[in-house]
Amino acid sequence: MKLAETRAIVSGGASGLGLAAASRIVAAGGQVVLLDINRDQGAAAVAGLGARAAFVPTDVTREADIDAAVEQARAGMGGISAAISCAGIGTAGRLVGKQGAMPAEFFRKLIDVNLVGTVLLCKSAAVAMQRNPPGSDGERGVIVMTASVAAFDGQIGQVAYAASKGGIVAMTLPMARELASSGIRVVTIAPGVFLTPMMAAMPPELQQSLGAQVPFPPRLGRPDEFASLVQQVIENPMLNGETIRLDGAIRMQPR
């Protein structure tokens, strides 16, 4: 699939990694619809991206929201060939801390946004992609999910977050196997420490300390480097059923 021909939906697309992926698709000549809960950021992102971008306010934890947004995107672009799931939250919290045991609602929220939100987008997008005519190699679409290195080496305070991202990694292969008969590929990217809006809000010295832990290059990842890998996934038909760590060889320490 050529990036210039891509018609993509991007959850969490109003900022950070999602916006970087959307920007690359638009710059190549493709179309994107951004799904995000933040209306102001969504409107600003579309204003910057131009006529080949649109925004649909969406709460990824609400099935009706996702289904309506996907259908609106499909109708507006004439189809959906790529779904990029970047919506997520990364709140830290100990299982048992100074304030007592972790509230069940805290755990549920991270699972609901990061894992359930990803599933809702993927299944709705897959239904839309099944309506596409197959390409020369039978391909109808590609799904890109976003996990985290925390799925493999989660730190203290990341029980809930690691569980949510580990679930994404675990469902990558079975989802790819199931959707193969429809000509739909599934790949997950597991970023390391990247300069996202959440990271940018941290003190500069903390950013430098985290970047220095990366073996090479010894710095924070750039959103455009995430977008570059998204492009490779979209364009390379042999990438399927795999989770790719994009982390400069970092392995997170316990804390």
pLDDT at 241: 98
Catalytic annotation on 161?
Answer: yes
* CATH at 188: 3.40.50.720
Q: What is the pTM of this model?
A: 0.96
Token pair of 48 as six digits: 């910057």
Is residue 36 one of the residues assigned to a domain? yes
Per-residue model confidence (pLDDT) at position 137:
92
- Diameter over CA atoms, the chain: 59
Whose CA is closest to 76, among 68, 84, 64? 68
Distance of alpha carbon 167 from alpha carbon 162, whole angstroms: 8
Asked whether residue 199 is domain-assigned, the answer is yes
| Domain extent for 202 | 3-245
The closest of 150, 155, 158, 149 to 106, measured between CA atoms, is 158
Q: Which neighbouring-strand residues pair with 246?
A: 191
Q: What is the pLDDT of residue 92?
A: 92
CA Rg value for the chain: 18
Alpha carbons 136 and 247: distance in angstroms, whole number: 34
101 found inside a domain? yes
- Our count of domains for the chain comes to 1
List the catalytic residue out of 55, 161, 194, 226: 161
- Return the half-sphere exposure (C-beta side, CA atoms, 13 A cut-off) of residue 186: 26
Please tell me the distance from the alpha carbon of residue 25 to that of residue 2, in angstroms, as a whole number. Answer: 10
Asked, for residue 61, whether it belongs to a domain, the answer is: yes
In a domain, 253, yes or no: no
203: phi then psi, degrees, rounded to nearest 5: -60, 145
Q: Is residue 35 part of a domain?
A: yes
Per the DSSP assignment, residues forming a β-bridge with 39 are none
- Pairwise CA distance, residues 130 & 202, whole Å: 42
Nearest-CA neighbor of 199 among 16, 35, 36?
Answer: 16
**Is 252 within a domain?**
no
CB-facing half-sphere around the CA of 20: CA atoms within 13 A? 19
Would 254 be classed as within a structural domain? no
> Mean pLDDT, consecutive 10-residue segments, the chain of 255 residues?
96 97 98 97 97 97 98 97 96 94 97 98 98 95 98 96 98 98 98 89 85 95 97 98 97 91
